[in-house]
C-alpha cells in the first residue's frame, strides 16, 4: 500500500525554502518509518539528510518526531502509528538546533553528558581481580546503561523547552548510573553537584521523558530516586528539598495543600527578591480562590494523618 510522509526540510544554504515536503512510498505491514525514509533518500531524493545507522534500536542515531512525538524511527512500524494510512509528519527532534532537514546539533547534549563526570571514580586500593558486586546491583544498572543516548527524552522535555541550562533527563540518567554503582567512591560529591541549580530539582515530573524513551530507561524515576538520596545524604538546603518537606507537612497537618505556605517555605521566608518575583503568580492564584484566608482544610484531616502515620511507621 502507499504511505505519505510529510517531512520537514531545512537547508542552511537556502534557508528561505524551509517547509514540509510530501513523499509517497510503497510500504507493507512491517515497514518502519526509517525504512520509508531510506527509500526516500536512496531512490527518490538524495538531498534529504538524516542520521541513521544500526536499524535495530541500539545505536541511537535516528530519534525524530513522528506526528509531534519523539521516537526512534527504526523501531517504529508505520502500521502502528498510521493504522489507516494517515499521513505521517516527520520533524527533527526538539530542544536542539536544526543543522539540516532531520539532523540536529547534538553538541549541547554531549556537553551535558560530560558535565556529570561520566566515568567511574573508585576510591581506595584497586583490587587485583574484579570488584565484588551483587548481580542484583549490576542487573539494576543494566536498566540505565540501556540508554542509547538517542535524545528522544531531551527532545520532548518540557523543562528544556523553557530553560536550556537544565541538565536534562539523559544526562541525569547517566549520572544515576554512577550514583548507584557500588564501585564508585564519589556518591556524595555527585549528589552534591546534582543538588545544585539545573540539577535534579529542576525536573517538573511531567513524565514526557518516561513516555518517549524507546529503551524504558525511566529517566524521571531515576531523578526522583536521586532527590531522595540527596535529601537522605543531608543536602536539604534547596528550594526543591524544602518544597518536598513543606508539601508533606502541609498535607499531613491539614489533609490538604496550603499553597501560600508552600511557596514561602520553598523559597525561604527571607528570600524577599524571589518572593516579590512570584508575587504576580500569587495574585493570580488568589483571584482564582487558591488561597482562602482560613487556609485549606480537608473535611477529615485525621484520616489523612493516619495514612501518613501508617507509611512513616513502616
Q: Which residues bind another protein (CB under 8 A)?
A: 11-13, 30, 32, 41-43, 45-47, 49-61, 75, 77, 99-101, 103, 106, 110, 114, 118-120, 122, 126, 128-135, 138-139, 141-142, 145-146, 148-149, 181, 183, 215
Between residues 21 and 239, which has the closer beta carbon with respect to another protein?
21
Helices (H), the chain: 33-39, 78-81, 107-115, 135-145, 152-156, 168-179, 187-194, 208-212, 219-232, 239-254, 259-267, 272-277, 279-287, 301-312
The least CB distance from residue 266 to another protein, in Å, is 35
**With respect to another protein, which residue has the nearer C-beta, 82 or 263?**
82
In the complex, minimum distance from the CB of residue 25 to another protein, in angstroms, rounded to a whole number: 14
Q: How far is the CB of 230 from another protein (least distance, A)?
A: 22
Instruction: Report, in Å, the least distance between residue 27 CB and another protein.
Output: 13
- Minimum CB distance to another protein, residue 79 (Å): 10
Q: Which is nearer to another protein, 155 or 238 (CB)?
A: 155
CA 108/CA 153 separation, integer angstroms: 14
Q: How many residues does the chain have?
A: 314
Helix (H, G, I), strand (E, B) or coil at 305: helix
Output 129 or 162, the one with its CB closest to another protein.
129
Is the CB of 10 or the CB of 291 nearer to another protein? 10
Backbone angles phi, psi at 59, to 5 degrees: -90, -20
Nearer to another protein, 11 or 86 (CB): 11
In whole angstroms, the minimum distance from the beta carbon of 78 to another protein comes to 13
Which residue lies nearer to another protein by CB, 26 or 232?
26
Q: In what order do the strands lie in the sheet with 69-72?
A: 19-26, 2-9, 88-92, 63-66, 69-72
294-298 long-range CB contacts below 8 Å, 24 or more apart?
295/254, 295/258, 296/254, 296/256, 296/257, 296/258, 296/259, 297/254, 297/255, 297/256, 298/254, 298/255, 298/256
* 263 to 234, 237, 241, 271: CA distances (angstroms): 22, 15, 12, 11
Q: Which is nearer to another protein, 118 or 282 (by Cβ)?
A: 118
Minimum CB distance to another protein, residue 66 (Å): 14
Burial class for 69, CB neighbours closer than 10 Å (0-12, 13-18, 19+): middle
Measured between alpha carbons, how far is 308 from 186 in angstroms, rounded to an integer?
A: 33
Cβ proximity to another protein: between 9 and 253 the closer is: 9
Report how far residue 182's alpha carbon sits from residue 233's, in angstroms, rounded to the nearest whole number.
16
Compute the least distance from the CB of residue 62 to another protein, in Å: 10
In contact, 152 and 211? CB cutoff 8 Å: no
| 88 within 8 A of 4, measured Cβ to Cβ | yes
Residue 86 CB, shortest distance to another protein, in Å, is 20
Amino acid at each position: 500500500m502507499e504511505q505519505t510522509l510529510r517531512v520537514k526540510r531545512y537547508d542552511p544554504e537556502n534557508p528561505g525554502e524551509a517547509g514540509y515536503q510530501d513523499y509517497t512510498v510503497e510500504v507493507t505491514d512491517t515497514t518502519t518509518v526509517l525504512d520509508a525514509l531510506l527509500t526516500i533518500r536512496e531512490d527518490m531524493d538524495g538531498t534529504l539528510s538524516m542520521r541513521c545507522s544500526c536499524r535495530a534500536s541500539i545505536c541511537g542515531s535516528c530519534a525524530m518526531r513522528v506526528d509531534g512525538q519523539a521516537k526512534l524511527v527504526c523501531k517504529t512500524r508505520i502500521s502502528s502509528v498510521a493504522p489507516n494510512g494517515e499521513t505521517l509528519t516527520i520533524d527533527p527532534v526538539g530542544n536542539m538546533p536544526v543543522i539540516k532537514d532531520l539532523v540536529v546539533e547534538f553538541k549541547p547534549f554531549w556537553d551535558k553528558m560530560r558535565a556529570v563526570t561520566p566515568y567511574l571514580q573508585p576510591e581506595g586500593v584497586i583490587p587485583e581481580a574484579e570488584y565484588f558486586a551483587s548481580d542484583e546491583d549490576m542487573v539494576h544498572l543494566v536498566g540505565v546503561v540501556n540508554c542509547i543516548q538517542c535524545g528522544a527524552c531531551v527532545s520532548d522535555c518540557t523543562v528544556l523547552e523553557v530553560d536550556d541550562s537544565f541538565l536534562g533527563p539523559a544526562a541525569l540518567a547517566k549520572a544515576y548510573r554512577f550514583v548507584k554503582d557500588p564501585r564508585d567512591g564519589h556518591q556524595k560529591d555527585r549528589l552534591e553537584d546534582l543538588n545544585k541549580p539545573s540539577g535534579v530539582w529542576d525536573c517538573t515530573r511531567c513524565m514526557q521523558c518516561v513516555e518517549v524513551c524507546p529503551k524504558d530507561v525511566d529517566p524521571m524515576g531515576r531523578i526522583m530516586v536521586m532527590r531522595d538520596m540527596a535529601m537522605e545524604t543531608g543536602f536539604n538546603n534547596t528550594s526543591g528539598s524544602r518544597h518536598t518537606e513543606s508539601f508533606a507537612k502541609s498535607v499531613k497537618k491539614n489533609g490538604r495543600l496550603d499553597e501560600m505556605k508552600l511557596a514561602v517555605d520553598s523559597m525561604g521566608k527571607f528570600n524577599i527578591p524571589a518572593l516579590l518575583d512570584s508575587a504576580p503568580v500569587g495574585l493570580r492564584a488568589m483571584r482564582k480562590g487558591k488561597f482562602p484566608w482560613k487556609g485549606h482544610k480537608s473535611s477529615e484531616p485525621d484520616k489523612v494523618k493516619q495514612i501518613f502515620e501508617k507509611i512513616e511507621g513502616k
